[in-house]
A and B are shown apart, each in its own frame.
Chain A
């Protein structure tokens, strides 16, 4: 017997969601054949089987979240004693399966299976799955009853989430907006088998706890559970998962922690575009041949960051330190069809524009395929997002925390502009730098974006960069 544990999927990733099993219990698997598709916050990976043999048991269902180091499958390889694969097994970076097979069906598959499973549980009379009562001493529980407080909603300060009498008093005095629960049902009352949430929010307790915490911290913040929109009209409910959930976390974190300021400017990219399009046609088919505007912008930004280190930094609010990075890893936002990811090009200060162009094409393709390993989405120091090709005149992006600045590129358009008293038609690229006002000021941004616009207006200037 061979117990296979979920291997380390790359630095920092602790868990993954099972997307698809390539094997079934009782079936055979050969060594290195695809075993399971796991999606992490960063990407989907196919993990090959480290052994051949009969699948004795699968330790997770599609939709389950498994931790690194958890046994996910037991393979009967003929050996008698149970053997365990070390959790730090070689990361399965190289996917063995064309990921296109994985991605399109993910949404429906996961949704359907999870729904069915939870539904069955409810039908069988298990109300909210295994859930322990809130730890609290009997006298504290009585106090809550007497103060007509649902102890499940009281934010706990004790160890292991234990609710203390002080917690109950505080909660009762604070008069939280948390809704009073319906009368306690008799022990035998079955739960209503209606809507099944993607995540089990136990008796709205999780929400109430969160709401109480949040409104205690932020003045005027008032949180109420969402209304049931099904009463208003037809709706479709999808679980917030994987990349979507990760994006949500990152955005809220960034917008909450970082005072954003935006600075806007236009770059006249007429000369650059003429040069770029000419060279692109000439180099067609060659490596990095698909010269993109993004590659030039990345190069120009790298130059700007060297001149203005404040935008290639991070701020540690706890140590009260600003960390200026002497390396330049530029991320670019990529729309993958399954959500937003940010591939990172490392060491842009040492790369040529052609090299960067090649990297963009390669990483974007793999990101869309869901095969870009987490390592290639990590370590960015500055991010660029380009929605121009899709339209829009300008955009205000959210900083990719813990970076301190993000550049948004609008659509390049031919516009009438005044040059030497004459109205001429020029190709204009709108630029918006959103930056962290804690580390830099408006003047820094003006200089940075101004210099960026200047470099992009004259490709010769880029010659001066390595």
Chain B
């Protein structure tokens, strides 16, 4: 047999082994399908596991412990010589990634899912070619596209030696000063990591605010805390040029309000979003359609315009979030197996692991304003919560967005410690169609941060006991 001419045949092929693709493959196998998984990287896990969520959270956790130790001085706990050993940290993070990736491999193997290496391109609606592997092509009945997304690069004229977020996660070094281009969640998370590691970090953002997707009141609380740790936050500012400086590092020209300034940084990290991997997978040989940004268009059953091809995760329309991809992976698998599933979720939680954390789910206050939806909002500040005080973390709030007449919970937003964990209850509330009353009568353990959600529901219902009632207007 000639190398490269070997073809495989399968019922379902899944392209990509990220949190969308590998979940779809496992679920399909459990539902009795013959599944083949194609991955162009060496390891399964996708961006999330290999160069995204997982390693970044390990780094963030480490830095936060350091930050907590620093804060602890306030309540009489002093640490001498708290320091981070980057080499050890790198090793620890790599270990986590490797362990989880091996875990996925094991799960796939035990379910009998064949994993092929290579870059897949459709050659027809029922066949694809593979580049860079032992098998040259796959014939299939159904396909699930889970090819994910890639980092956006700065336009021409930018030197290649600047970091991407993937580069930064590898902890190549701890620069003396670091400019983060992009005030989205990746830029802020990585900026705070390097600040914790010892860099002087500045952030530059093109838009007038950081974290444009989040409600302003939440972002404000976070920015207030974070600005104490960062050198400079430049919003409404444009990076005109980045050039390698003769003395090492980078000269960066930044424009703000018509004023141009030239600044020097030891390193530059570019985190300006991601784009879907839909341009080099042979979609022209199918009827699959994309929107003008390259996202594959799908229906609620994750089906594309080519009836036997499905698309999930970052490459399909919707927010680029691992948990959205996993849910879509299950939907696609179930639709292929028995046809009745649908991605009918009402709330996709968003989480930003800054310090304090920001999280929201369902309708945001901004969306309500933009769509002219009347809402009743209850806000509860963490400063009024016992547990927040005992943690020394009163910087934060929880807000509940409800329908005025019925009290139906439409959305929840929060900023504060553990917001990433606490948002789950809010998502459940929206998904179940819970009302303010449902949350208010549910006993929340005391003293915990989870009480803030109940308190915010009480505020929205006008029945809060821990907040002074609004002043009567005469």
Q: Which residues of A contact B (CB under 8 A)?
A: 84, 130, 132-133, 135-138, 141-142, 145-146, 158-163, 184-188
Contact = CB atoms under 8 A, between A and B. Distances in A.
Contact of B433 (A84, A135, A146, A188): A135
Interface stretch (B55-63, B66-74, B166-174, B401-409): B401-409
Q: Which 9 A-B pairs have the closest CB atoms?
A: A135-B433, A160-B406, A160-B408, A186-B299, A130-B373, A162-B433, A137-B432, A160-B435, A130-B371
Contact of A188 (B317, B371, B373): B317
A187 B298 contact: yes
B53 to A, nearest CB: 24
A186 B298 contact: yes
Interface in B287-304: 291, 297-300
A187 B300 contact: yes
Contacts of A161: 406, 408
A95 B403 CA distance: 37
A114 to B, nearest CB: 16
A146 B340 contact: yes
Range class of the B interface residue count: 20 to 34
A135 B346 CA distance: 9
A21 to B, nearest CB: 19
Contacts of A188: 291, 297, 317
Given A84-B473, A186-B298, 14 more contacts: A130-B373, A132-B410, A133-B346, A135-B408, A137-B433, A142-B340, A146-B340, A158-B433, A159-B407, A159-B437, A160-B433, A162-B435, A186-B300, A187-B299
A234 B341 CA distance: 44
A311 B383 CA distance: 66
Contacts of B438: 159
A133 B305 CA distance: 25
Interface of B: 291, 297-300, 305, 317, 340-342, 344-346, 371-373, 403, 406-408, 410, 431-433, 435, 437-438, 473
A161 B372 CA distance: 21
Contacts of B297: 186-188
A162 B407 CA distance: 11
Contacts of B300: 184, 186-187
A145 B342 contact: yes
A155 to B, nearest CB: 15
A137 B431 contact: yes
A138 B432 CA distance: 7
B398 to A, nearest CB: 21
B281 to A, nearest CB: 20
Nearest to A151: B344
Nearest to B303: A186
Nearest to A156: B433
User: Which of A130, A142, A186 is most buried by chain B, counting CB atoms within 10 A of its CB?
Assistant: A186
Contact of B299 (A141, A142, A158, A184): A184
Contacts of B346: 133
Contacts of A133: 344, 346
Contacts of A158: 433
Contacts of B435: 159-160, 162
Contact of A160 (B291, B372, B403): B403
Contacts of A185: 299
Contacts of A160: 403, 406-408, 433, 435
Contacts of B291: 188
Contacts of A136: 433
B408 A132 contact: yes
A187 B304 CA distance: 11
6 contacts: A132-B408, A135-B433, A137-B433, A184-B342, A186-B299, A187-B300
Contact of A141 (B317, B344, B473): B344
Nearest to B305: A186
A99 B122 CA distance: 71
A158 B407 CA distance: 13
Nearest to B291: A188
Contacts of B407: 159-160
A184 B373 CA distance: 24
A65 to B, nearest CB: 13
Contacts of B408: 132, 135, 160-162
A132 B347 CA distance: 12
Contacts of A159: 406-407, 435, 437-438
A427 B408 CA distance: 66
Contacts of A135: 408, 433
Contacts of B372: 130
Nearest to B368: A130
A193 to B, nearest CB: 19
Given A130-B373, A160-B407, A186-B297, A145 B317 contact: no
A166 to B, nearest CB: 14
B431 A138 contact: yes
Nearest to B371: A130
A136 B342 CA distance: 14
A409 to B, nearest CB: 45
A68 to B, nearest CB: 16
User: Which of A84, A136, A163 is most buried by chain B, counting CB atoms within 10 A of its CB?
Assistant: A136
A188 B293 CA distance: 14
Contact of B403 (A84, A132, A141, A186): A132
A249 B300 CA distance: 40
A71 to B, nearest CB: 13
Contact of A187 (B317, B373, B410): B317
Contacts of A145: 340-342
B329 to A, nearest CB: 16
User: Which of B297, B344, B345, B438 is most buried by chain A, counting CB atoms within 10 A of its CB?
Assistant: B344
Nearest to A133: B346
A158 B406 CA distance: 11
A142 B301 CA distance: 12
A121 to B, nearest CB: 10
A186 B431 CA distance: 21
B411 to A, nearest CB: 11
A338 B340 CA distance: 53
A353 B437 CA distance: 59
A185 B341 CA distance: 15
A404 B431 CA distance: 49
B344 to A, nearest CB: 5
Contacts of B299: 184-187
Contacts of B433: 135-137, 158, 160, 162-163
A102 B143 CA distance: 64
Contacts of A137: 431-433
A132 B438 CA distance: 19
A447 B372 CA distance: 60
Nearest to B374: A130
A421 B250 CA distance: 123
Nearest to A189: B299
Nearest to A183: B299
B354 to A, nearest CB: 30
A280 B300 CA distance: 76
A293 to B, nearest CB: 49
Contacts of B410: 132
A132 B317 CA distance: 20
B31 to A, nearest CB: 15
B458 to A, nearest CB: 17
A213 to B, nearest CB: 18
Nearest to A145: B340
